[in-house]
């Protein structure tokens, strides 16, 4: 009887386990990258649908007069057909008086698919080292804690204020006359700070949303009726 001749088993290549490990690691890294990219896209899509709007009465005051700049209302400029023919852009004017209190109200509107959190409100031109006729005291609701000023703005933290998808949240900045800096202005002079910015977050990502640039409010030293 002739014994069968067995072929030796093929040897495993030494580098094969290492290549398999590298392949698995590359697949894992790729999967993580896809997840992170999707998460970032989802977050920025949600935050990109947030905007700031103002209604027809953005500012109301006690102890001060709120008028328009320039003076007059558009219904004084009617054409023959009864439609307003005035092309002037009007801005609110607050005649700052000692002891006054004003509220500047705006809305954070969430047109996106996901809930976002309002985290902070920045008020340009109201930082402590800026000579201003007014000073902010708080932001309602949930904005009683003032943070350190940034270069161009006062900042108030907003605590626990979610804005659901398809909803809106109003905020009111409470302002007072700044007696310390009043001497830095001549009567009837004033300034128009840029409107508020709001920091919102979703899925761990933050974005700062600016107000429309044409939504500024003019603050004048004294009533406008004394300046005409």
> Cα-atom radius of gyration of the chain, to the nearest Å?
30
Domain around 53: 45-226
pTM of the model: 0.78
* Residue 101, pLDDT score: 97
* Residue 35, pLDDT score: 52
User: Is there a domain that residue 16 lies in?
Assistant: no
* Residue 41, pLDDT score: 67
As a whole number of angstroms, the distance between CA 185 and CA 166 comes to 43
Percent of the chain at pLDDT exceeding 90? 55
* Residue 90, pLDDT score: 82
User: Is there a domain that residue 78 lies in?
Assistant: yes
* Residue 84, pLDDT score: 58
Low-confidence ranges of the chain (pLDDT < 70): 1-44, 72-86, 228
Tokens representing 4 are 């069968």
* Residue 50, pLDDT score: 96
Yes or no: say if 217 and 54 are a contact pair by the CB < 8 Å rule.
no
The enclosing domain of 57 has a CATH number of: 2.60.40
As a whole number of angstroms, the distance between CA 139 and CA 161 comes to 12
Q: How many domains does the chain have?
A: 1
User: Is there a domain that residue 195 lies in?
Assistant: yes
User: Is there a domain that residue 217 lies in?
Assistant: yes
Overall residue count recorded for the chain in this entry? 228
User: Is there a domain that residue 89 lies in?
Assistant: yes
């Amino acid at each position: 009887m002739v014994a069968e001749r067995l072929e030796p088993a093929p040897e495993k290549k030494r580098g094969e386990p290492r290549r398999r490990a590298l392949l698995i690691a590359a697949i894992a890294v790729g999967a993580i990258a896809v997840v992170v990219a999707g998460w970032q896209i989802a977050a920025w899509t949600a935050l990109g649908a947030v905007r700031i709007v103002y209604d027809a009465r953005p500012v109301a005051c006690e102890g001060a007069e709120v008028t328009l700049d320039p003076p007059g209302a558009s219904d004084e400029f009617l054409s023959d057909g009864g439609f307003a023919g005035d092309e002037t852009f009007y801005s609110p004017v607050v005649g700052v008086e000692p002891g006054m209190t004003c509220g500047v109200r705006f809305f954070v509107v969430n047109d996106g698919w996901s809930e976002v959190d309002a985290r902070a409100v920045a008020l340009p031109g109201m930082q402590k080292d800026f000579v201003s006729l007014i000073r902010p005291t708080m932001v309602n609701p949930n904005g009683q804690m003032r943070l350190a000023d940034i270069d161009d703005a006062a900042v108030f933290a907003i605590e626990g204020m979610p804005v659901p998808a398809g909803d809106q949240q109003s905020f009111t900045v409470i302002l007072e006359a700044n007696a310390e800096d009043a001497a830095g202005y001549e009567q009837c002079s004033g300034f128009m700070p840029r409107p508020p910015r709001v920091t919102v977050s979703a899925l761990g990502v933050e974005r700062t949303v600016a107000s429309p640039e044409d939504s500024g409010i003019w603050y004048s030293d004294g009533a406008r009726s004394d300046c005409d």
